[in-house]
Structure formats: C-alpha cells, structure tokens
A and B are shown apart, each in its own frame.
Chain A
Amino acid sequence: MAGVDPTLPIVKNMLLLDSEGKRIAVKYYTPEWSTVAQQASFEKALWNKTSRTNARAEAEIIMFDNVVVVYKYIGDLMFYVTGSQDENELVLYTVLQAFYESVTILLRQQVEKKTVLENLDLVLLAIDEIVDGGIILETEPAVIASRVTMRGADGEAPAAPLTEQSFTKAFASAKEHLARSLLK
C-alpha cells in the first residue's frame, strides 16, 4: 500500500458483520489494523456506534477515529466500507453500493446471514472483485456478479438481458441446424 499515489481513492476495509456485530466476511487493506485484536476492537467500536441507527432504507455514514464509514443494513446483515476522513464520501458510497447490490444478485435477493454463510465463497469472491489491495476494481454490481460466478468477464451493464438474448439466438440457430440436418 505504501507507494500508492495519494490522490487515488483508497478503501481501507470492507466488512460484513451480523446483527450482533460478529464478523462474517471482512477484508482489511491498510496497515492501521494489522492484528486481529486491532481489527476486532475497530469492529466492536464501529458496531457500538452504528447498531442503533437505522440504515435500512438509505445507506448511513459516520465519522470516527479519523475514518469515514458508510454502511447499510439488509436483513440481519450489516455492510460497511471504510475510507480515510479526507475521502470523497460518495466514492465510498459507490463501493458500498457495489458491495451490497452484487451480494444481493449473487444470493438471488435472499440476503440474510444463513444464505451468506451457505454461500460464503461467493461473498468472499465479490469482495475480491470489488476492491484489489485498496484500489477500487469494479463498481457495477451486475458485472461483479457475473465475474464471481465466472459466467462472463466483460458483462457490460445490461448483462442479464444480453445473455438471455444470446441464448434465444443460440437456440434458434440450433433449431435451424437441426432442421437442416434433418432435411439432408
């Protein structure tokens, strides 16, 4: 992390905690919290400060200990994205959106602790596809989801309809092939 251009937006960590503040999936990118104990105390402090707020309809934001954290609750889960206090809050918000929306797609709208644990691999991969070593890698939820499931790399924004279309196309051409071969 040391040599990174200071103008580049950096994500300090991404956390997915349960409703009691216990970690489900976390990733730290900067050296502030290098030990598990430091991470745990950060998570605890964060949870204490945020658990009583309502961040369901809209993502919320808090500043403490010289960091800015944006967060959102879905079901019994809490999504957090942390950046430095000088970071553009909306950039962090974009990352947070990518985080919870891609998880929503991957879990087929069943966003709760149980399904997350059952599909932990997908959530970990999503985190890996959104941020690489603190640098934002991708923010488009549909693209992230298709990369996680290895369905397609360059899934442009309208990924789902496109694949559907190509499927019907493929089906049509297959039918044509079959018809031809039968006609022979």
Chain B
Amino acid sequence: MAATAQDSQAPLRGPEKKDEDREDETEFSPFYGIDKGAVLQEARVFNDPQIDPRRCQQVITKLLYLLNQGEVFTKKEAAEVFFGVTKLFQKQDINLRRMMYLCIKDICPGADEVIIVTSSLMKDMNSKVDLFRSNSVRVLCKIIDGQLLAQIERYLKQAIVDKSPVVASAALVSASHLLGNNAEIVKRWINEVQEAAQNKNNMVQFHAVALLHALRASDRLAISKLVTSLTKASVKSPLAQCLLVRYVAQVIQDSQPGANGEQRPFYDFLESCLRHKAEVVIFEAARAICNLRDVTARELTPAITVLQLFLSSSKPVLRFAAVRTLNKVAMTHPLAVTHCNIDMETLISDQNRSIATLAITTLLKTGNESSVEKLLKQIGSFMSDIADDFKIVVVEAIRSLCLKFPTKQRALMNFLSGVLREEGGFEYKKAIVQSILVLIQEIPDAKETGLGHLCEFIEDCEFTYLSTQVLHLLGQEGPKTKEPSKYIRYIYNRIILENATVRAAAVSALANFGAACEPLRPRIIVLLRRALADNDDEVRDRATLHLQQLEGKAGGPDAVQPRLDVNITAMEKALSDYLAGPTDKPFDISVVPKAPPPVRASGSSALGLATSTATNSSGGAAPTSAARKDPTAEYAELLRSIPQLAPLGEVFKSCEPVALTEKDTEYSVFCVKHVYEGHVVFQFNCTNTIAEQVLEDVSVAMDLAEASDFEEAFTVPLDQMPLNGVGQCFTVVTRQPGAIATGKIVNILKFKVKEIDPSTGEAEEEGYEDEYVLEDLEVSPADYVKPTLLGNFRKAWEELDPATEKEDEYGLGTREGLQEAVEAVIGILGMQPCEGSEAVPPNARSHTVLLAGIFVGYQQVLVRMSFGIDATNNVAMKLVVRAESIELSEAIHSIIQDA
C-alpha cells in the first residue's frame, strides 16, 4: 500500500545497513547492503535483448523487498521499472511471469502507463494456462478503470464460470473489489455468479456467495430470499457457511420478534450449524445466537454448551474466542453462563493473559454473593503478573460487582485498597481511586472505610493529580463523618511532606474541616498558621485567606467554601469586561447571570471528579442530545454588552445561525434570532470577503409585509464590516408581549462601499450607498420554544390540563430509518427529549418519543410522539401535545405542519 511515490516517510531499513554492530547478523541476508540506486540500475536487465529470466526474477524480488521495507520510489522511477517489467511479457517463463504479475500490482504508476500492459494481460486472460488466466484477471481488475472494464466484461463473465477454480475465484474476488466503483457493470453478471455459487470448489462457492449477497445488500427482501434458498441448498464450504450464518443472523435481526414463545425463523438453521464439522462454523453460529436481540435462555443453552467445550480446547485461539463471547453474554444473561464457571476458573491461570482477564471478568459478572470471597482470593494471586491495562479491566469489574452486592463492600473495598498499595502506573491507580470514589458515593456504609483507605493511599502516593483529588474529597466528605478529627493528621502530613500543589490542596481541605466542625476550629487554626511560612505563594495565600475566614473575618467560616452559582463563561466575560474598564469600583458579582442548578449526572460528579472513565466503562453511553449545547447563554453575554439592547430584558431563546447568503459571495451574512418577551432581535453576523473594498455603516432593513405581527423598532448598525472576520449589526422588531408572532421577512443589506486604491492601499474618501438583497428569513413557532429538562415526564404530563390536549397524525414520507425520522422531528421542534426516548432501539418498527419544552413566557409544553415505519420505509407519526393553553398546543402542531 505504501507502494509508490507520494509517501515521504523514511524507509524502515534506513540507517541500519551502516550499523557495524549489526553486521554479523545481517550478513547472511541476500539483501545485505542493498541500495535503491543500485537495484534500479540493475533493473536495466529488463531491457536486454536476451532476457535472462532467472536474473530478472531476482531483480524483481529485490525491488519488492525494497518496497516492503518502506522504500519510496519516485513517480519517474516507478514508471521506469514498470516499463521495464512490461517488456518481459515477450518471455514465456512461467515463474518470471508470476513475479511480473505481483510487481505490476505493487508498482502501478498511473492510468497512462496502464494502457501499455492491458493488451498483454488480455492475451494472458485467454491463455490455456489456468494460472495465467487467473493472475491476469486479478492484475487487470486491480489496475483498470470503468471504461476498460466494459471492454473486457465478456472475458470476466466467462472467467466467473471457468471450470478451473483458481480462475473462477480470481474473477469473483476481483468482481467484489470492483463492486465499489463499478456496481452497474458487476450487477450484469449476476447469472454467472449464481451459477458459480453451485460450484463444487469450496473457495469458489465462498466467493460467489459473498458476491451474491453484496449485489443484493440494499434489498431486504432479496436477501431474505437468498438466505432461504441457500439454507435449503447444501452449502459445503465452511467459509461460505459462516457467511450464511451471518446473513441469517441479519435476517433474524431485521425480522419482527415473534410473539411469546414463538420460535424465530431460521433459529433451527443456526442450531444445526452448532453441529457442523468445522469449528469455524460452529463458533460463528454460537456467536450469532449469543448476539441475537432479546435472546431467551432456552435459545442460548445449546450455544453456551458448545462454547463451554471450546473453553477446554488446547488451542488458545478457540479458548479466547469462546471466553470473549461468553463474557459478552454474561452482561445480559449472567445465569446462562454460570454453568461454565468451573471451566472459567481453570482459565484464570491461562498462559494467555487476555484469556485469563476475560475469564476473571466473566466470573465477576456471573458470580453470586457467596462466591465473592473465593474469587477475590483467586484474583489476588493473579493480579501481580498481568499488565496494567488488564488490571484496569479487573478493577472496573470489581466496582460493578460491589455495586451489585453492597453487603460485600467490606471485602471488595479491602481488595481495592490492597491493590492500591501495590506497584502500578497512573492509569491503573486512577482507575482504583475512581472506583473507590464511586463506591463511597453509592454505598453509604462504605464511606468511612473508603475514606480511610484513601487516607492511607495519599500517605504514599507519587501522583500529584490523584493526591489533590483525594484531598479535595476528604475536605468535602470528611467533616460529615462521625469522627472528623482522625483525618486531620493525614491531611496535615501532606502540608509537611508534599510538593506545592498537594500542599495547597491540603490547606484548602484543612480549612474545610475548620469551617464545618466548630470544635476542631482552634486546632485547625494552629495548623494553618504553620503553613503561613510556606515557600510557595499559593499555599501561603490560601492559608492566609482561610485563617482570616476561620477567625471570622473576610466573610467568616462560611466563606471557606463559597458556592459560586454563576455561569462560568459569563463570569469570565464579566471579569474581563471589568478589567477593560475603570477599576475604581469593586467588581459586582451580582451582574453575572446565575447558572442553572447543576444537573446531577451519574457517577461521581457530585464529588467533584472527572467522571469520564466512570461513565464510559459502565457502558452507559450518555444520550447525545442530552448534552445539547445551549447557544442562548453564549449569546446572552454579547447581547448584554450592547447598550441599545440591554433595556429589552432577558433573552428567552437564541436560535441556531441561519445563512442568508450563498457560499462564496462578496459578503457572507448569517442571522441569529433572539427572542425576548416583547421583542425579537435579529443579529446579523457579517463578513466581508473582498479585500479591495471597505464596507461601512452596515445595517439590515426589513420588509415586514408578510410578517404583519411585527413592527420594526430600531437598528444597531455596524461601523465597518471586517475583512474575513465577523461583525454584528442588529435589527430589532417588536411584537405583542408573549405572543407567538410568525411570518416571512425580506431582508436588505444596506451599506456604504469604499473602493481601496490598489496603488496606495488606502480606502477612497468618497463612497457610495449600495444594497444587497439577502435571502428571506422565516420566523416560526419553533423559534419560541426551547428545550427544558424534566425529571418525571408522566407526572408533568398528568399535571397539565387534558383539555389542552391536541392530537393529529402526520405522514413523514420515506425515511432512511426510524432514528433518522425521530432526529429530524426533534430537530424541527427544538425540544428536549426525555427519559432517553430519543434513542430508537435497533430495527424497531415503532417507537415513542417524549419531548419537553417551554414557550416564551415560560409556559410548559409536553409532546408525546409515536412513530411507525412500514416495509418500504414510510414513516407515520402521531403527535399528542399538552400545554398550558390550547393555543400553544396548536402552535406546536403548526410547527410540524409547516415543516
């Protein structure tokens, strides 16, 4: 693949050939001291009138060796070699010819050169020698384009049904590759491919079945037919049988789940494959059964039985395959896997550490309460000799086991603290600490022991990051325990022994104790005093501040842990604004907008810790749209900074930017709609893309003929449209306060143009007025609704007056799938999906989505949508809305009707 010219990477073989130490070792190599220039020189033998086949073969091998070592040939060098090789076609030496085929595939410079070999290759395609035919087909299909393909199509069709398997296979595999770019041509060969699928040769059958499936991949019905006919016919080749198992699994996946107890179609076939004589088929079938959607315990049993046999195989590959599959099953059906526990236990001591780790984690998933201690003992002996990344897997499995059996927390916690004391890298230690933190949070009983273990850990912790995290947590949780005083010693030791970062964290943690536990305060003050002479300024600063606070000054003890409930980005903005202006008055924090109360995410976020690893490993992929970013907060700062807009009040919602110009025009304008209680502010982000002109005094005039509910109030013009930067002008319209006014607005960009004199680079004094018509802008009801988070959808739904309920049905036309339809509708409504209902289960035929939003004026709207999809991907939707008034319900329906 790194064959030809473009790659500028140095060859792997680089300096080594000059390395004297390696001499004795490389000297037996026929390639010792090989040099690209010399080999290219040698390649001239291709042009000799008397061709020496043996010699040429050696030169080709050398060339391929160089390529394989990552040597780069320039385009010219490659072309030269290529031409040389093509000359060798006149020699009828079979071994040389074979090397030529390989060489042409690896050094193929470009379409222009290809022409030269096609006629020779086409001659070989009609040769009597099977191997000439097969190889020339492979080479030709690799290097030709669609046009040439049409010319040789006839021969390829013949080759597919050639009685020599090597030719048929070559043609079929080549056709599979060609399918990507020349699907139309390959589709014409379907009869030949079908014939080849009956071939007695295993590989031909495999290649033909694969190609048949690929040809029909987009048509569910055709696939289903193909599968039915293939399962009836006898497919002999194990690899083809594996393919068939995959196709069957796919058909089952796509079919409707049968009613209770009814057997799935084709399940019998999968089960019969479990008795196939080839292991590869048996495993493929077992794997397919284990991966079935909503598989029942009864369906699983035969598959688990064969996998169990594989567990005691002498082949590591088989053991690995089996234990990996069982490990996956154990997540959903732990009971089904318990039969294998004895075999699993012997695998703990497997030579292959991947197998051992998988066995351990499977056991941890399937284990019951009584076997926990025994397991831990076994793992303990095993932990010391596996790599860190395996240890992390084990630690995570232990954590989930502990959450499953909280009564065993003592044993599990002890285990974790034991491994925490052992040697290990940062990632591993971090995983352990995170696990303990999660357990502390989730299991109240584990808190005191957990904190105790963590205290021990920081006594001898080489990772600053982890020490500070633990200290922070001690500061948060320690004061709430029964005996806070016992933690103080550990924390104070940090101040004496550690680096500045940890010392600072320790000072803050101590101060927390002092603030929260009054009896301890005098003692804490004594300790903090000692930190006043610290040689790090941050530590001294913190100590000084906290001392003052504990002594009742600077806000008193309550101020030790100030609760900053402000929006952090807004805070940053406000602070930088403050520093930019006069600083004679103190900064007033009350102007910074408050942040919404933090949503308590899963994992340990409440403990102030990064939860990324925790949530990822627990398999809970956070719903994507839950993290939908809120543009309103970002724009709010900008809007507040404009004096003319400030009196309008709080912005309710800012919409996504809409482009009002085509791409690559002179001016690029995007519009962002901001909805206020009684106004709508249109923010136009303007960019000048032409360097030869200056655009001044930019504003947007609106024609409100088709939006009579609005009345233009005023505009905030932009002094100069920046070149390739973004400048904003605003147009403000009024409407009835709280009203959902809609309509289409025609926008005209007005500005004064000044040409730039190319000789001086200065703008001309005199400019002229100009206008530019922008695209129309639509204000729809969707602009007045914004997503809101809701704890309990059902409760909120029932609280709304049923009289406001409005129901209607809509056809959404043909869609790619339900998920796509659901996302499209959510996008149109701009509301917040609740309870994870925006995720459609794979292959579902119907789905219900719950949405919550608020309309301008803070009125709640709830939506319940039911989707259904039919065989031709037509999607229908039933939309039920409840809101605080019937008008709002109607507005929601009108959003959908207009979309």
Q: Which A residues contact B (CB, under 8 angstroms)? A: 2-5, 7-9, 22-26, 28-29, 31, 33-37, 39-40, 53-54, 58-63, 70, 88-94, 114, 117-118, 120-121, 124-125, 128, 132-133, 135-140, 147-150, 153-154
Contact = CB atoms under 8 A, between A and B. Distances in A.
Interface stretch (B276-284, B741-749, B790-798): B276-284
A91 B9 CA distance: 33
Nearest to B142: A133
A114 B28 contact: yes
Interface string B530-574: 000000000000000000000000000000000000000000000
A88 B317 contact: no
A112 B11 CA distance: 24
A182 B177 CA distance: 57
23 contacts: A3-B181, A4-B176, A4-B177, A4-B180, A28-B1, A34-B2, A53-B352, A58-B316, A60-B316, A62-B352, A63-B320, A63-B354, A88-B287, A90-B317, A91-B239, A93-B280, A93-B315, A114-B28, A118-B30, A132-B173, A138-B169, A140-B203, A147-B131
Contact of B280 (A25, A53, A91, A125): A91
Contacts of B165: 153-154
B164 A153 contact: yes
Contacts of A114: 28-29
B122 interface: no
Contact of B98 (A29, A88, A137, A150): A150
Q: Is the interface of A mostly helix, strand, loop or mixed?
A: mixed
Interface of B: 1-2, 7, 9-12, 28-31, 57, 60-61, 64-65, 68-70, 94-95, 97-99, 102, 105, 129-131, 134, 138, 142, 164-167, 169-170, 173-174, 176-177, 179-181, 183, 201, 203, 206-207, 210, 213-214, 217, 239, 242-243, 246-247, 250, 279-280, 283-284, 287, 314-318, 320-321, 324, 351-352, 354
B169 A94 contact: no
A23 B64 CA distance: 13
Nearest to A114: B28
A169 B808 CA distance: 85
Contact of A149 (B95, B214, B246): B95
B94 to A, nearest CB: 4
Contacts of A89: 283, 317-318, 320-321, 324
Contacts of A120: 30-31, 61, 64-65
Contact of B352 (A23, A61, A94, A139): A61
A61 B317 contact: yes
Given A40-B70, A54-B351, A121-B60, A88 B9 contact: no
A81 to B, nearest CB: 11
Contacts of A25: 68
Given A4-B214, A114-B28, A153-B131, 11 more contacts: A3-B181, A4-B176, A5-B217, A34-B2, A63-B354, A94-B239, A125-B102, A135-B173, A135-B176, A138-B169, A140-B203
A59 B68 contact: no
A10 to B, nearest CB: 11
Contacts of A70: 317
A61 to B, nearest CB: 5
A139 B238 CA distance: 11
Given A35-B2, A53-B352, A91-B239, A26 B68 contact: yes
Given A40-B70, A58-B315, A154 B7 contact: no
Given A150-B95, A154-B166, A117 B31 contact: yes
B316 A61 contact: yes
Q: Is the interface of B mostly helix, strand, loop or mixed?
A: helix
Contact of B12 (A40, A135, A150, A154): A40
A67 B258 CA distance: 35
A59 B315 contact: yes
Contacts of B318: 89-90
A135 B102 CA distance: 16
A61 B60 CA distance: 34
Contacts of A132: 138, 170, 173-174, 177
A138 B207 CA distance: 10
A147 B2 CA distance: 26
Given A7-B213, A124-B102, A36 B177 contact: no
Contacts of B134: 153
Contacts of B29: 114, 117
Contacts of B239: 9, 91, 94, 136, 139
Contact of B99 (A2, A4, A121, A154): A121
A27 to B, nearest CB: 8
Contacts of B183: 3
A114 B32 CA distance: 12
A83 to B, nearest CB: 12
Cβ-closest 9 pairs across A and B: A3-B180, A153-B130, A36-B70, A5-B214, A36-B9, A89-B321, A90-B280, A153-B166, A121-B61
Given A63-B354, A150-B131, A9 B242 contact: yes
Nearest to B97: A150
A24 B70 CA distance: 11
Given A61-B354, A114-B28, A91 B242 contact: yes
Contact of B279 (A9, A90, A147): A90
B203 A137 contact: yes
A9 to B, nearest CB: 7
A9 B317 CA distance: 17
A93 B99 CA distance: 27
B390 to A, nearest CB: 11
Nearest to B179: A3
Contacts of B65: 120
B70 A39 contact: yes
